[in-house]
Amino acid sequence: MRSGEVARDDRKNLAIQALAGSETVSDLAARHGVSRKFVYQQTHEARAVLDDAFSPAVPDGKVLFEVAVTKAWLRQVIIALTLICRSSYCGVVEFLRDLLGVPISMGCVHNVLQAATRQAGIINGQQDLSGIRVGLYDEIFQGATPVLAGVHAASTYCYLLAAEERRDADTWGMHLLDAAQQGLDPDYTIADAGQGLRAGQRAAWGDTPCHGDVFHIQPLLGLPLGAVAVTGLCVGYADEGVPAMVKPRLPQSVVLHLERYGSAAESGGVAVCNRALEAFSATAERSSYSWTDRVMSRMGQVAALSGRDRLRDALVRLGFPLG
């Protein structure tokens, strides 16, 4: 038998038998129909694998690799420690001093980061922002310093991050006009009620809509995930001089929430409304039905929704966080 025709499992068994020493190499070769050279090859491969499996672990003091430490590499370490590890200036100073024996000052760390910021600013200023259809804006703070922030809603790409002394309309408008020079022309934006932010957008972009966010109000009202806060204005009232029957509605305890959202009164309120509406409809409309029946008839089938099935998509386009 030629050595190339020996199956993998047979070669493994041959090596085990050779290592065991229960038979001579000549006898093993003759019994398996291979040459003695082939037996020695398999024995050598098996012994190498065993030696590797049982060899001692690499000593802690063994040099695994070497790094050429240059000034450019040290600058990379400073930036990486700050941006990746979220290290403070003091942490960077201690790392370089204790692990690398390189003494630097916090001023040096600051200068390195500022130089990197200037380089990044040049790169950011060359980006094409014309693909951004929805922009998200907010004012965050580094200590007491306002930082104007703008983010692409679809990708979370941050195209505006500017520390300024003021956050008034002129400052916001200046940055938005600069972004427009890079092609930024969103369909609409989403922001909180900051007066300077909104006035700056009106000055820079005119009638571009700026929708209100729901992030700030959700925790205040205790809204569940996916719920949004909307406001409405009731105009007019019923003419008390005209006799009429008023169709029962859901109790205020179900639909009106004072300060915070709650659902404890929902089941009882719906039951009260069902009974009242059944009595009203039997008298006024000659066809008894409950509030639950009416909701099911309007939402049970797509055809009965009369456009309500597109309401969610419309809210998403307006910026409501419905997923």
Cα(61)–Cα(59) distance, integer angstroms: 5
Which residue reads 């300077």 in tokens? 196
**Chain-centre distance for alpha carbon 52:** 44
**Letter for the amino acid at 201?**
Q
Read off the pTM: 0.50
Q: Angle between the 89-99 and 71-83 helix axes, to the nearest 10 degrees? A: 130
User: Bridge partners of 190?
Assistant: 136, 211
| pLDDT at residue number 212 | 83
Cα(169)–Cα(194) distance, integer angstroms: 10
Give every residue of the chain whose pLDDT is below 50, as ranges: none
Q: Angle between the 71-83 and 106-124 helix axes, to the nearest 10 degrees? A: 80
| pLDDT at residue number 172 | 96
* 182 and 128 Cβ atoms separated by less than 8 Å: yes
Closest by alpha carbon to 17, among 36, 47, 38, 43?
43
User: Bridge partners of 161?
Assistant: 149
Three-state DSSP class for 143? coil
In sequence order, the 6+-apart residues with CB closer than 8 A to the CB of 260 are 221, 222
What six digits make up the tokens of 53? 């499996």
**Letter for the amino acid at 103?**
P
* 277 and 294 Cβ atoms separated by less than 8 Å: yes
| pLDDT at residue number 28 | 85
Closest by alpha carbon to 16, among 46, 52, 40?
46
What is the side-by-side order of every strand in the sheet holding 145-152?
158-163, 145-152, 134-142, 188-191, 210-212
Architecture of the domain made up of 134-212: 2-Layer Sandwich (3.30)
Task: Tell me how many helices (H) and strands (E) the chain has.
Answer: 13, 5
